[in-house]
Chain A
């Protein structure tokens, strides 16, 4: 059975801290891994990763994929209260039209 596991499930830090969110997967026919941010409503797309070792970066957020160890991390540096959200990891499978999602990490940034 295809599985995506995120850790931690919940994290509370202070503004300015750096956080690392984890996503591991066990799937057949991996195609890509995606990260989404969900605030109060619709998840919004952050990154798509297809190749090992290549960092994707957007401002204070960055992500990298390790296809040998089957995991990805999402880093957020100099966190701000606006980074508070649920972060979702999902894996896209070859030959399937659907994503397999992890449980999500609820990140809370306190001022």
Chain B
């Protein structure tokens, strides 16, 4: 079974803090993704990566950056958290054949 894990289930941060969200997959997948999920808006792609050290902007990259130093690990960074970044963050991975496997999500609250 594919396993995608995320470092935290719940996080509370203050405005202006730097926030790191970590994602690890154990299936040697090339592709990894970060989404945010908000009610009524579905899943929106923030960034994705198709190889180590490679990254591509998704639909809503503003205010975020990513890092992929190892194949199994993909980090999402909020350089200076703002209240409008309060959301559920989902990480996913795929082998490039369409189906993505998701982690359990991190619910982030920025105060």
**Chain A residues proximal to chain B, CB less than 8 Å:** 6, 9, 31-32, 34, 36, 41-45, 48, 88, 90, 92, 97-99, 101-104
Residue numbers in B under 8 Å from A92 (CB-CB): 98
- The answer for the CA separation of A17 and B67 in the assembled complex, in Å, is 46
Task: Tell me if B31 and A45 are in contact (CB < 8 A).
Answer: no
**Contacts A/B (CB < 8 Å), 25 sampled:** A32-B98, A34-B98, A36-B102, A42-B102, A43-B90, A43-B102, A45-B99, A45-B101, A48-B99, A88-B42, A88-B43, A97-B48, A97-B56, A97-B96, A98-B33, A98-B48, A98-B58, A99-B45, A99-B98, A101-B35, A101-B42, A103-B40, A103-B42, A104-B42, A104-B43
Contacts of B33-79 to chain A: CB distance below 8 A: 33, 35, 40-45, 48, 50, 56, 58
Closest A residue to B41 by beta carbon equals A103
- The answer for the CA separation of A6 and B94 in the assembled complex, in Å, is 23
Residue numbers in B under 8 Å from A36 (CB-CB): 102
* A29 vs chain B, min Cβ distance (A): 13
Task: Tell me if B42 and A48 are in contact (CB < 8 A).
Answer: no
- The answer for the CA separation of A98 and B32 in the assembled complex, in Å, is 9
Closest A residue to B48 by beta carbon equals A98
Residue numbers in B under 8 Å from A48 (CB-CB): 98-99
